A and B are shown apart, each in its own frame.
Chain A
Amino acid sequence: MAGCSVLTGCRRETPVESANREGVLLVGNSAEPRALDPHLVTGVPESKILSSVFEGLVADHPSGDDVMAPGVAVRWEHDADMKQWVFHLRGDARWSDGEPLTAADFVFSYQRMLHPSLAAAYAPMLYPIRNAEAYNRDERGRMLCGMDPAFPLGWDILGNANFRGTDATSVASPATDDDDRTRLRREFAAKGLDRLDAAALRAILDDPDLFDWPDAVPAAVRGIVVGRLLAHAEAGAPDLFDRADVGVRARDPHTLEISLREPMPYLPSVVRHFTWYPVPRHVVLRHGAMTDRFTGWSEAGTLVGNGPFVLNTWRFNHFIEVVGNPRYWDAASVGLKAVRFHPIENPYTEARSFLAGQLHTTYTLPPELLGRMRERHPEFLKVEPYVGTAFLRLNVNRAGLDDPRVRCAISLAIHREDYCRYIYEGYQPAQGMTPDLASYRGPRMLRHDLDEARALLADAGYPGGAGLPSYAILTSRPHPVSDALQQTLRLLGLRVTIERKDWGSYIAAQQELRFDMAIGSWIGDYLDPTTFLDMWTRGNGNNNTGWDSPAYEALLREAALQPDTAARFATLVRAERILLEEMPVVPIAWNSRIYLHRPEVRGWHPLVLDNHPWKAVRLDP
């Protein structure tokens, strides 16, 4: 490098060449991580970095999505109904600062993640743990009374009382009430017992009429409930983790017991997710309280992890570098000296950067470049099935879209093979909502039949599209799929415009059901069909269609209770069948991950979950 002048144009060593020599992997990682605390992030770019500095109970395998490699746990077992699991941790597990890693760290981590004060957005990932949801939602009534086996009234009856808050306008006000009392009653009803402070609870204790109860709850019990809630509030609302009997326990320093709320044969797959990683209790508490957000424990220089690498440098928006962790239990087999993550959001910049020898692997590839890469650099191009589905989300509250026949007509009009040839190049035509994961094969119900589509539309009372309002397709960036759908739906006689919003407004509009149709996609979290099916339930924040079906949810619940995988998948297929018959979302394509990758990167195999364990990667120029 010395003596090479920029102006003479003599070729200096590219970053990739010098990185190959030094054993450093250069990774395009899309966005700057918001944080590196596993409990406070939800994004994929963060997860890539987290998986280099932390390791979960179970680890990813370099070539098999469904191979459960030992991580912190060397082996695990479960009982016959798959609800009680025991993970045996390796005796020599250490944090990168040398402190021993024990089961207590896991218990601390799950408690922190679920603690209501921390406000972890991804806390629901831990809800399979028994009583985790009640603890996370701070359901005080349930924890203080419902979980007490000696309580005079069972939760099946007591649970109907207003603990979580209701629509206050439905609260009646007796004629004898004055304004103040009415206001208080409305306020208490809106908040619910779980969220009333000590003063409010005292007021109710003195004046029981200030709060409405179901008749089935006798007056004496009402008094006990309020009394317990008051005592808890007056004691400063202490943490209820133990009281809630949340299903994690350290039997001894190297044995972790996890008790689930329902059978989960795929628990080992789920605990590979970063939300189940351990965090170092001694370091977290050194920098603040357990529930303080962003105390600085997870910065470069202070972050302590248990993974194959440690956080070395973090230059904002520039790069993050992790270097080998000598205290990692399997350090001997780690093939890289370091990994550098570059947050390149602009995919064209990233492609240019790769082709100029600045990166070993990219996060993505602009679709327009796919053809050219196929011709000119097929050795760099990777097109691999990915755990995601692109779909058109429909708002079933809108006129016309409230009829499943109209929705199914839309689906029948889409020629998915053509879409994948011209619009979603590299993707595969969707055969259902859930891509083929593990041994799951969803019902193959999606077809293209324009005549049948038109017939259905006529059947629903809209022949040739007459009588249907015009619809807007909501999108967040210019993508040919919106234009294609506009043309496709025109074949049915539908008038469709394209409405483009910035990303934040696009998300908000869907979550508030202020849209007709929206281009959407979903990337699964783990290797099980439930990650694609659980979201279409009532009240689920990721549903956003206005659709729900008791029959569908009943089948999901039935599947959840089946320990046998084949039987469970069969039930899930029946559930997905309902979803595809009702069609609140129209799956279009199953994602592929399309990216550029240098051939000297070894230990990298196509993985549907795209969780390549960094420890298995090596550079072989």
Chain B
Amino acid sequence: MTRVILQRLLQGLLVLFVLATLTFFLVRALPYGPFQDERAVPSHVRERLEQLHGYDKPLVVQYAMRLGNLARGELGTSLKVMEGREVTAILAQAFPVSLALGLMAMLIAVPVGVAAGVIAAVRRNRVVDYAVMAVALLGICLPNFVIGPVLAELFGRRLAWFPVSGWEPRDLSFMILPAVTLGLGSAAYLSRLTRTGMVEVLHQDFIRTARAKGQRESWVVLRHALRGGLIPPVAYLGPAFAATVSGSVVVESIFQVPGIGRLFIKAIETSDEALIMGPVLIYGSLIVVANFLADLVQLWLNPRLRSNS
């Protein structure tokens, strides 16, 4: 087991290294730089700024310096979006918000999606099944920049059940609409995957045996079938998490949530390299960890995978 963990850790670090390198060179390849502005920056000012921030050194030297800083855990300072501020300080305020939103979205998506899938599988080919799958299809196809404003208008403005937008750290009501918007797509996918997994398991011999033994249907489903039926959705959890995290950009804009997503987009628009690198590495780490955890859960659920470790 430790060998597996160590292996994954090294893989993770390699992933981060590649991400950092790609990000660095891609940002430098942008046709615009951080010292440009809508109002033209005088050339002597631009030169001075480039000097101050080391942009006048050769590219390879800058890359080496950057890697060195990253290895020391220094994410650098923002050059444009929040000039002069340490990226760690910015992310310290923004990341918990995005994390809370993402977790809330998953907390909604997973139970709702799985439950819907189980119900659809159990009531296979009946009205309930078709209804659930149709809703799921809508949830997959409708982009969150359509769902979000619709939810905000309906539940926020018209019915006034939740605030239309905004964020208060300890007030759950601000989290509901953005989390639902964010989680809906994943819930839809999860429901379809759960249904597929459950249907396959429910066809197995041992299920027929359990029923023949006279066990209650709900016991059969929940105790025997669920574990196997969850394999496909769990496999999706890693990518689901990634989708949630990247989908947060749009949702944050619609619901005015002060998370990393909006900062990230602004940083890309203004070539603010440090503030691009920070979120890239954070998202990268999160996805590596999420995938690893999802794999662990899979190992637990599916003994057939355990033969190697």
Binding site for B on A (CB under 8 A): 6-7, 9, 11, 32, 34-35, 40, 42, 116-117, 119-124, 136-138, 293-294, 315-318, 342, 344-346, 348-349, 352-353, 355-356, 358, 502-505, 507-509, 511, 540-542, 544
- Is B167 located at the chain interface by the 8 A CB criterion? yes
- Asked if residues B256 and A34 are in contact (CB atoms below 8 Å), the reply is no
Question: In the complex, what distance in Å separates the CA atom of A604 from the CA atom of B269?
Answer: 34
Within 8 A of A (CB), among B180-211: none
Question: In the complex, what distance in Å separates the CA atom of A54 from the CA atom of B157?
Answer: 37
Q: Chain B CB within 10 Å — which of A32, A293, A294, A346 has the most? A: A346
- Asked if residues A349 and B165 are in contact (CB atoms below 8 Å), the reply is yes
Closest chain-B Cβ to A333's Cβ sits at a distance in Å of: 32
- Is B12 located at the chain interface by the 8 A CB criterion? no
User: What residues of chain A lie closer than 8 Å to B173, measured between beta carbons?
Assistant: 6
With A345-B253, A502-B269 already in contact, the answer to whether A315 and B52 are too (CB < 8 A) is no
Q: Give the segment of B30-38, B132-140, B230-238, B281-289 that binds chain A.
A: B30-38
- Asked if residues A121 and B30 are in contact (CB atoms below 8 Å), the reply is no
Extra A-B contacts (18), CB below 8 Å, given A503-B269, A542-B40? A11-B160, A35-B83, A35-B84, A42-B37, A116-B48, A119-B45, A121-B39, A123-B42, A123-B45, A138-B44, A316-B82, A316-B94, A317-B93, A352-B164, A358-B166, A504-B30, A504-B31, A508-B31
- Asked if residues A356 and B156 are in contact (CB atoms below 8 Å), the reply is yes
Which of B37, B40, B152, B161 is in CB contact (< 8 Å) with A352?
B152
Closest chain-A Cβ to B270's Cβ sits at a distance in Å of: 6
- Asked if residues A316 and B39 are in contact (CB atoms below 8 Å), the reply is no
- Asked if residues B255 and A121 are in contact (CB atoms below 8 Å), the reply is no
User: What residues of chain B lie closer than 8 Å to A541, measured between beta carbons?
Assistant: 39-43
Question: In the complex, what distance in Å separates the CA atom of A599 from the CA atom of B106?
Answer: 42
Which of A35, A315, A355 is in CB contact (< 8 Å) with B258?
A315
Q: Which residue of A lies closest to B254 (CB)?
A: A349
Question: In the complex, what distance in Å separates the CA atom of A352 from the CA atom of B155?
Answer: 12
Q: Which residue of A lies closest to B153 (CB)?
A: A352
Which of B42, B81, B93, B165 is in CB contact (< 8 Å) with A353?
B165
User: What residues of chain A lie closer than 8 Å to B37, measured between beta carbons?
Assistant: 42, 121, 507
Question: In the complex, what distance in Å separates the CA atom of A226 from the CA atom of B233?
Answer: 76
Closest chain-B Cβ to A353's Cβ sits at a distance in Å of: 5
Closest chain-A Cβ to B186's Cβ sits at a distance in Å of: 23
Question: In the complex, what distance in Å separates the CA atom of A9 from the CA atom of B158?
Answer: 11
Question: In the complex, what distance in Å separates the CA atom of A348 from the CA atom of B32?
Answer: 28
- Asked if residues A315 and B93 are in contact (CB atoms below 8 Å), the reply is yes
- Is B162 located at the chain interface by the 8 A CB criterion? yes
User: What residues of chain B lie closer than 8 Å to A353, measured between beta carbons?
Assistant: 164-166, 256
- Asked if residues A540 and B48 are in contact (CB atoms below 8 Å), the reply is no
Q: Which residue of B lies closest to A344 (CB)?
A: B256
Question: In the complex, what distance in Å separates the CA atom of A116 from the CA atom of B49?
Answer: 10
Within 8 A of A (CB), among B39-66: 39-45, 48-49, 52
User: What residues of chain A lie closer than 8 Å to B255, measured between beta carbons?
Assistant: 349
With A349-B256, A541-B40 already in contact, the answer to whether A358 and B163 are too (CB < 8 A) is yes
- Is B224 located at the chain interface by the 8 A CB criterion? no
Question: In the complex, what distance in Å separates the CA atom of A471 from the CA atom of B31?
Answer: 21
User: What residues of chain B lie closer than 8 Å to A358, measured between beta carbons?
Assistant: 163-166
- Is B149 located at the chain interface by the 8 A CB criterion? yes
Closest chain-A Cβ to B242's Cβ sits at a distance in Å of: 23
Q: Which residue of A lies closest to B34 (CB)?
A: A504
User: What residues of chain A lie closer than 8 Å to B262, measured between beta carbons?
Assistant: 317, 345
Question: In the complex, what distance in Å separates the CA atom of A293 from the CA atom of B78?
Answer: 12
Question: In the complex, what distance in Å separates the CA atom of A6 from the CA atom of B48?
Answer: 54
- Asked if residues A117 and B90 are in contact (CB atoms below 8 Å), the reply is no
With A345-B253, A349-B254, A356-B164 already in contact, the answer to whether A34 and B82 are too (CB < 8 A) is yes
Closest chain-B Cβ to A360's Cβ sits at a distance in Å of: 14
Within 8 A of A (CB), among B87-146: 90, 93-94
User: What residues of chain B lie closer than 8 Å to A349, measured between beta carbons?
Assistant: 152, 165, 253-256
Closest chain-A Cβ to B216's Cβ sits at a distance in Å of: 33
Listed by A's residue number, 21 A-B pairs whose Cβ atoms lie within 8 Å are: A9-B161, A42-B39, A119-B45, A119-B48, A121-B45, A122-B39, A123-B45, A137-B44, A294-B83, A294-B84, A315-B258, A317-B94, A318-B93, A344-B165, A349-B254, A356-B157, A504-B30, A504-B36, A504-B271, A507-B32, A541-B42
Closest chain-B Cβ to A6's Cβ sits at a distance in Å of: 5
Q: Which residue of A lies closest to B152 (CB)?
A: A352
User: What residues of chain A lie closer than 8 Å to B160, measured between beta carbons?
Assistant: 9, 11, 356
User: What residues of chain A lie closer than 8 Å to B94, measured between beta carbons?
Assistant: 316-317
Q: Which residue of A lies closest to B159 (CB)?
A: A9
Question: In the complex, what distance in Å separates the CA atom of A138 from the CA atom of B271?
Answer: 28
User: What residues of chain B lie closer than 8 Å to A123, measured between beta carbons?
Assistant: 42, 45
With A6-B161, A356-B156 already in contact, the answer to whether A119 and B254 are too (CB < 8 A) is no
- Asked if residues A511 and B82 are in contact (CB atoms below 8 Å), the reply is no
User: What residues of chain A lie closer than 8 Å to B162, measured between beta carbons?
Assistant: 6
Closest chain-B Cβ to A446's Cβ sits at a distance in Å of: 25
User: What residues of chain A lie closer than 8 Å to B153, measured between beta carbons?
Assistant: 352
- Is B226 located at the chain interface by the 8 A CB criterion? no
Q: Chain B CB within 10 Å — which of A32, A117, A138, A356 has the most? A: A356
- Is B240 located at the chain interface by the 8 A CB criterion? no
Question: In the complex, what distance in Å separates the CA atom of A310 from the CA atom of B85?
Answer: 21
With A120-B45, A352-B165 already in contact, the answer to whether A504 and B40 are too (CB < 8 A) is no
- Asked if residues B149 and A352 are in contact (CB atoms below 8 Å), the reply is yes
Question: In the complex, what distance in Å separates the CA atom of A293 from the CA atom of B42?
Answer: 17
Question: In the complex, what distance in Å separates the CA atom of A294 from the CA atom of B40?
Answer: 21
Q: Which residue of B lies closest to A543 (CB)?
A: B40
Question: In the complex, what distance in Å separates the CA atom of A413 from the CA atom of B33?
Answer: 36
User: What residues of chain B lie closer than 8 Å to A117, measured between beta carbons?
Assistant: 48
Question: In the complex, what distance in Å separates the CA atom of A6 from the CA atom of B155?
Answer: 11
User: What residues of chain A lie closer than 8 Å to B253, measured between beta carbons?
Assistant: 345-346, 349
- Asked if residues B157 and A508 are in contact (CB atoms below 8 Å), the reply is no
User: What residues of chain A lie closer than 8 Å to B20, measured between beta carbons?
Assistant: none
Question: In the complex, what distance in Å separates the CA atom of A136 from the CA atom of B254?
Answer: 43
User: What residues of chain B lie closer than 8 Å to A116, measured between beta carbons?
Assistant: 44, 48
Q: Which residue of A lies closest to B33 (CB)?
A: A508
- Asked if residues A355 and B157 are in contact (CB atoms below 8 Å), the reply is yes
- Asked if residues A294 and B45 are in contact (CB atoms below 8 Å), the reply is no
Question: In the complex, what distance in Å separates the CA atom of A316 from the CA atom of B92?
Answer: 10
Q: Chain B CB within 10 Å — which of A120, A136, A507, A540 has the most? A: A507
Question: In the complex, what distance in Å separates the CA atom of A333 from the CA atom of B260?
Answer: 40
With A34-B81, A119-B52 already in contact, the answer to whether A346 and B254 are too (CB < 8 A) is yes
